[in-house]
A and B are shown apart, each in its own frame.
Chain A
C-alpha cells in the first residue's frame, strides 16, 4: 500500500514537473500548423526540453482577445495577421516584446536589421510573409484564368467561386478586378464611393459564391468540385497541389501580401517559455526550415538563401513564394492601418450585404 502511494506520488510529481515546462501555441490549423510543428515545435522541444501544445483557430486573434478580456488566458503564443497584431497591441491586450531577445543572423547582423521592414512591431515578431491568392482547379475550368478579372467574369468562366467570409481581401480584389491599380486601392477604399464600388463588383458574383472560413476549406472545395475557383492562402494551395498532387494552379495576379506574426497575450500562463519559443522559432534557420514545409516566405532576409527544396526533396521552393519577383507584378501589400481602423465598420457592412 505504502509502496503504491509512493509510486503515485512520484508519478504525480513527474506529471507536475512535465506541466511546468510547456508552452501553448495557437495557430491556423491544417498544412500551416503542420509546417510550424515540423520546423519550430519539434526542434524546440528537443533542444529546450519544453513541450509545445499546438491548438488551432480559424483566426487566433479573436480567441486571444476574448480570453484576455475575460481574464482567462490559456494560450501563450498566438500567430496573428498584421492588422490584428497592431490592433490588439493598441488595445493593451498583448505583451510588449523586447526585440533584443531575438538572435542575430548567422553573419552577425542584429535581428532588428535582419527582419524585413515592418516585420517587427512593439508587440509582435513576424515569422512569414503569406498571401491571399486566387486559385483554380485545372480539371474544372476549360479556359485557364490568368488574371483577377477572370475571377469576376462569369460569362467566360462559369461556375461557383469560393471567397473568405469577411470583408478583408475581398474588397481589395474586387477593386483590382474593376481595374483599380494596386497602389490606389486603399486610397479608394477610404472613400464611401470606393467601398460602394467594391460591393457593387462583389454583387456581380454574389449568387455564385460559396463562403469559406477556415484556411483548410478552399483546397477542399476545389478538390470536391464545389467551386471552380477560390481565393485561398497561397501555402494551402501549394501543399495540396505539390504535396498531395491536386490539379490546382495559383493566379498570382492581384495577390494580397500580409505578415503572420507571433504575439504573447497579456496574462499568458507561461510567459518565459513563450518568449523563448518566439526567439527560437524566428531565428534564421527555423524560418528557412518552415519554408521547406509550406510556400510562405520567411520574414528574415538572412533566411532567404537557406530556403531550398520542399520536403518532398525535389521541388524548388523559390518560385512558389509570394515574394518571388515574377509573382509580384500586380501585387498589393495589405494596409494594416486601414484594416485596424475599418475592420469593424466594413465587416458590419459586409454582414448586411451578405444577409440581403
Chain B
C-alpha cells in the first residue's frame, strides 16, 4: 500500500482528480495494490486449492464418470503394457446398422464369431463376460466357453454359435450387449434403484428376490435420523451440564466426552461387541442378577440394535461439542431475568434458553446425520444382517464383486441425497445459523 500515499492535490473543490505522489490516479493505484494483495492471498491458498482439487474434486469427478461410463464391452486395456484395443467392433457395427429389437441374424452371429477371435487373442473374453454378467447374470461362462472354441467356429455361424451354447439365443442377452456397446450407460443407476431393462429395452423392476438397494437407502435414512435424534436427546443434557458447571469440574467431565472421541473407532466398536454379545458383560450381569434366564439371553448385537447403540455412542461427541460451544457463552442472567419476570422454569427454558442453542443443535445434527449416512465399519462389524447400511453394499461392490460402476452409482445417489437434505436444511434452518464452535 506504500505507493498509494496521498498526493498533494487539493481535495476541497473536488474538480481535480486524486493522484498519488508519482502522478497515477488514486483509483488505479488502489486497484493495483488490491490486485497484488489478492494475488498474494491466492498464492497462499494455492497449496490448499491444489490439494482439494487433487484429493477431493478429481476423485469425486472420476467416481461420477465411472458411474455412467464402463468400457468393458468396447475397449480392452492390456495390463502388462497399457495398450488399448477396440473390441467387439463387428458386433457393434451390426448393432448400429440394425434397430433395437431386430432378431439377430446370420450377419450378427458372424460378427460375434469374428469378435471372439480377437477376444481370444487378447485374452479379453473374461473381462467382456464380466461386463455382460453384471446385467445378464450367469452369462460369464458363455463368453469364456465360446472364446475357447472361437477358432473352430465356421459358417453358418448362427448354428455354430448356438451349438456352443443355446443361451446365445436369449433376447435379453442381445439387449444387454446392445446396451453395453456404448460405453456410456445409465444402467448402473437403474440397478442402484432396483430397476433393469427387459428384452425389449423397457425399464422394469428387478425380481423381488434381488431387490435390496431401495430398502437399504430407506433404512440408511431412517437409522441416520434415529441416531441423530438419539444423540440429541443424550447429548443436550450433557452439554448443558458441561456448560453450566464451574470450569474446574466441567473440564474433568469434558475429558469423559473427549476420551472416547480420541479413541480409535475400531476399539470403541469392539468394546461394544464385548459388552453386548450374548455371552457379554451386559447379558452376564442380567443373568447373574436373575432378571433374564440363561437360555433367553437378549440378542443386542449383530442386528439393528447393535448398529444403533454403537453408532449413537460413537457419534455422540459430534453432537455434544457443538452444543457445548454454543451453550457456554449463553449468559445465565437471561434465564434469571425471565424467571424474575414470572416465567415458569419450563417457559424460561423454552422461550429464552433453547432458542439460543439452536445454531449448536443445527450444527450437531447436520454433522451426526451426514457422518451416519456414510457410516461403514461399525455396521459391518456389529450390524449382522438387518443392521447393514447402504455403505456396506457400496463397500461390497468396491472390494468384493468389484463392480465399481455400480458402487459409483450407489455412492453418487448417496451424495446426491445428502446434498438435497443439505439444501432442505439450508431452506428450513438456514446455513448461516450453523455454529461449529
**Hey, which bits of chain A sit against chain B, CB under 8 A?**
59, 62-63, 65-66, 68-69, 71, 87, 89-93, 158, 160, 196, 199, 206, 209-211, 224-226, 266-267, 337, 340-345, 347-349, 351-356
Minimum CB–CB distance from A347 to chain B (whole Å) comes to 6
Q: A211-B385, A266-B79, A355-B388 are in contact. Are A345 and B212 (CB under 8 A)?
A: no
Q: Decide yes or no whether B184 CB sits under 8 A from chain A.
A: no
CA distance A17 to B283 in the complex (A): 56
Which A residue sits closest to B142, measured CB to CB?
A341
Minimum CB–CB distance from A188 to chain B (whole Å) comes to 15
Q: A210-B384, A341-B140 are in contact. Are A266 and B80 (CB under 8 A)?
A: yes
Q: A65-B402, A68-B79, A353-B209 are in contact. Are A92 and B141 (CB under 8 A)?
A: no
CA distance A236 to B132 in the complex (A): 37
CA distance A262 to B202 in the complex (A): 45
Minimum CB–CB distance from B185 to chain A (whole Å) comes to 17
Minimum CB–CB distance from A336 to chain B (whole Å) comes to 11
Which A residue sits closest to B400, measured CB to CB?
A62
The total number of A-B Cβ pairs within 8 Å is 100
Q: A90-B125, A351-B212 are in contact. Are A62 and B278 (CB under 8 A)?
A: no
Q: Decide yes or no whether B269 CB sits under 8 A from chain A.
A: no
> Could you tell me if A209 and B79 are in contact, using CB atoms closer than 8 angstroms?
no
CA distance A68 to B78 in the complex (A): 11
Q: Decide yes or no whether B133 CB sits under 8 A from chain A.
A: yes
Minimum CB–CB distance from A171 to chain B (whole Å) comes to 13
Give 1 or 0 for each of B103-142: 1 = CB within 8 Å of chain A CB. Answer: 0000000000000000000111111011001100110110
Interface size on B, residues (CB 8 A): 42
CA distance A90 to B138 in the complex (A): 15
**Hey, which bits of chain B sit against chain A, CB under 8 A?**
79-80, 122-127, 129-130, 133-134, 137-138, 140-141, 144, 209-212, 215-216, 219, 277-279, 295, 302, 384-386, 388, 393, 396, 398-404
CA distance A91 to B125 in the complex (A): 7
Q: Which residues of A contact B384 (CB under 8 A)?
A: 210-211
Q: Which residues of B contact A226 (CB under 8 A)?
A: 277-279
> Could you tell me if A347 and B400 are in contact, using CB atoms closer than 8 angstroms?
yes
> Could you tell me if B126 and A90 are in contact, using CB atoms closer than 8 angstroms?
yes
19 further contact pairs, Cβ within 8 A, besides A69-B404, A267-B79: A62-B399, A71-B79, A90-B125, A90-B126, A91-B130, A92-B79, A160-B278, A209-B385, A211-B385, A225-B279, A266-B80, A341-B133, A344-B133, A348-B212, A352-B210, A354-B385, A354-B388, A355-B219, A356-B215
Which B residue sits closest to A199, measured CB to CB?
B209
Minimum CB–CB distance from B227 to chain A (whole Å) comes to 18
Q: A66-B402, A352-B209, A353-B209 are in contact. Are A344 and B80 (CB under 8 A)?
A: no
Minimum CB–CB distance from B303 to chain A (whole Å) comes to 9
Cβ-neighbour of B396 out of A91, A351, A356 (below 8 A) = A351
